[in-house]
Amino acid sequence: MTLVIGLTGSIASGKSTVSLMFDEFNIPVVDADKLSREVVKPGEKAYDKIVNTFGHEILRDDQTLDRKKLGGIIFADEDKRKQLNSIVHPAVRERMIFRRDSFIEAGETCVVLDIPLLFESKLTHFVDKTLVVFVDEGVQLKRLMERDDYTEVEAWQRIKSQISIDEKAKKANAIIDNNGTKYESYIQLEKLLREWKII
């Protein structure tokens, strides 16, 4: 039996940081953000739909998506965000399930699905347990602004486009408190994997 863990959190709460730690335990991770970049490459169906919906002005000179520009549009307008989600999410979901099932068929003890919008998109039925990477909102804002060089307004738009981190923490089977150092988060993960009898 493979245990499927849904790893989530809010934007810049530390999902990618924690997902890298699963490597140490040889636990495979399927990363929805990575898949969402794959499915919008030129030549893919979702790419054509995005260009038809948002126009050529969201393309760079090399015809790839200008992600910063598209982000600027969809995080400032909920209807446009829903339009983009309805194009990208089905393609991501299909690839994610395919990869999850390949790991299950290969007999892995555990597989992690790193899904930023696990609760928003109601995808918890894809996983056995949910794990939320938690940070206080102030820490989240600071890390997001520093990592992506956003203004405070841009960072808040992105934070507010998701269910609050407190609400996600309430829904989770387990939490990693990532307010401290990365090492402190690693120790929490190791303890949890022991509790869940994965290591």
Ligand X SMILES: Nc1ncnc2c1ncn2[C@@H]1O[C@H](COP(=O)(O)OP(=O)(O)OP(=O)(O)O)[C@@H](O)[C@H]1O
Ligand Y SMILES: CC(C)(COP(=O)(O)OP(=O)(O)OC[C@H]1O[C@@H](n2cnc3c(N)ncnc32)[C@H](O)[C@@H]1O)[C@@H](O)C(=O)NCCC(=O)NCCS
Q: Which of residues 58-87 bind ligand X (CB under 6 A)?
A: none
Q: What is the largest CA-CA distance in the chain?
A: 51
CB of 134 to ligand Y, least distance (A): 14
Does 11 engage in binding with ligand Y (CB under 6 A)? yes
Does 6 engage in binding with ligand Y (CB under 6 A)? no
Which region, left, alpha or beta, applies to residue 122 given φ > 0 means left and ψ of -120 to 50 means alpha? left
Of 79, 138, 88, 77, residue with least CA distance to 117: 88
C-alpha–C-alpha distance, residues 126 and 128, integer Å? 7
Nearer to ligand Y, 75 or 103 (CB): 75
Nearer to ligand X, 127 or 178 (CB): 178
Q: Which of residues 101-140 bind ligand X (CB under 6 A)?
A: 116
CB of 196 to ligand Y, least distance (A): 24
C-alpha–C-alpha distance, residues 193 and 179, integer Å? 20
Of 8, 9, 11, 7, residue with least CA distance to 158: 11
DSSP class per residue in 124-157: GGG-SEEEEEE--HHHHHHHHHHHHT--HHHHHH
Does 151 engage in binding with ligand X (CB under 6 A)? no
Binding mask 51-90 for ligand Y (x = CB under 6 A): ----------------x--xx--x------x--xx--x--
Which residues does the annotation place in the binding site?
Answer: 12-17
Give me the residues that bind ligand X (CB under 6 A), please. Answer: 9, 11-17, 33, 116, 143, 147, 178, 181-182, 185
